[in-house]
């Protein structure tokens, strides 16, 4: 398993090692010890989510208020998605920066993003399956989004896709509007959360 940090600090891509024989393939898609060693603390596991998306389905950009926020460990066991991480932490040196990784069932990878970061993905194939572990349960009062079509973010959605968004994602504010409305986590809140997790 190889790990590298993305352009958005506190997010990582993990290149996984599949093992195969005549019976098929086996992949260790999550290793708590490896992730903990990389980020400096365990992932507090509160919920596991699974979605199946048609080609062009776009989900995000989603984030949760900190504390506690919601760290995510994302894996695509079947199909193919473009996974995007966005720094929505006010006062972060990389505020507004994004990075993207293709996740698919043939070359297994996973993405980890810490609390306070924004997450989105678009399905590049029909019936793309995405499963993710999260550090806190769903709380609609603390979960928000910014528009994945915000021209200032300029996220790398493929031009050949007809994008399908939920009504909620389509109505989400731009990053600048979300900042003006006080909806975004701050870098100070996130740094304090990360430090607390490292002390536990």
Local mean pLDDT, 10-residue blocks, the chain (200 residues): 96 94 93 96 96 98 97 98 98 98 95 98 98 96 97 98 97 98 98 94
Q: Which CATH number fits domain 2-199: 2.60.120.10, 1.20.140.10, 1.10.8.60, 2.30.30.20?
A: 2.60.120.10
Q: How many beta carbons lie within 10 A of that of residue 181, not counting itself?
A: 10
In the prediction, which pLDDT does 68 show? 96
List 73, 75, 112, 132, catalytic entry: 132
CA-CA-CA-CA torsion for 130, 166, 184, 40, nearest 10 degrees?
0
30 carries an active-site annotation? no
Residue 180's pLDDT is 98
The SS3 of residue 189 is helix
User: Which pLDDT value is given to residue 105?
Assistant: 87
Please state, as a whole number, how many other Cβ atoms lie within 10 Å of the Cβ of residue 29.
Answer: 18
Nearest to 153 by CA among 5, 8, 6: 8
Query: Quick one: tokens of 141?
Result: 């009062």
Query: Encoding tokens for residue 81?
Result: 């998605």
Set 62, 73, 112, 119: catalytic member: 62
Active site residue 75: no
Of 113, 120, 135, which Cα lies nearest the Cα of 39? 113
* Residue 22: per-residue pLDDT: 93
């Amino acid at each position: 398993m190889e790990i590298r940090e993305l352009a958005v600090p506190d997010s990582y891509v993990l290149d996984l090692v599949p093992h195969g024989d005549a019976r098929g393939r086996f992949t260790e898609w999550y290793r708590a010890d490896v992730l903990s060693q990389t980020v400096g603390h365990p992932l507090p596991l509160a919920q596991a989510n699974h979605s199946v998306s048609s080609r062009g389905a776009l989900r995000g950009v989603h984030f949760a208020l900190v504390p506690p926020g919601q760290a995510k460990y994302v894996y695509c066991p079947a199909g193919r998605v473009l996974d995007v991480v966005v720094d929505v932490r006010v006062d972060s040196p990389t505020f507004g920066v994004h990075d993207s990784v293709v996740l698919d069932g043939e070359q297994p990878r996973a993405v980890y993003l810490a609390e306070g970061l924004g997450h989105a993905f678009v399905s590049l194939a029909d019936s793309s399956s995405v499963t993710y572990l999260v550090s806190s349960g769903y709380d609609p009062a603390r979960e928000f989004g910014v528009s994945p079509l915000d021209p200032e973010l300029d996220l790398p959605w493929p031009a050949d896709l007809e994008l399908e968004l939920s009504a909620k994602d389509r109505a989400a504010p731009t990053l600048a509007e979300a900042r003006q409305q006080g909806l975004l986590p701050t870098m100070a809140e996130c740094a304090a959360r990360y430090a607390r997790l490292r002390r536990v």
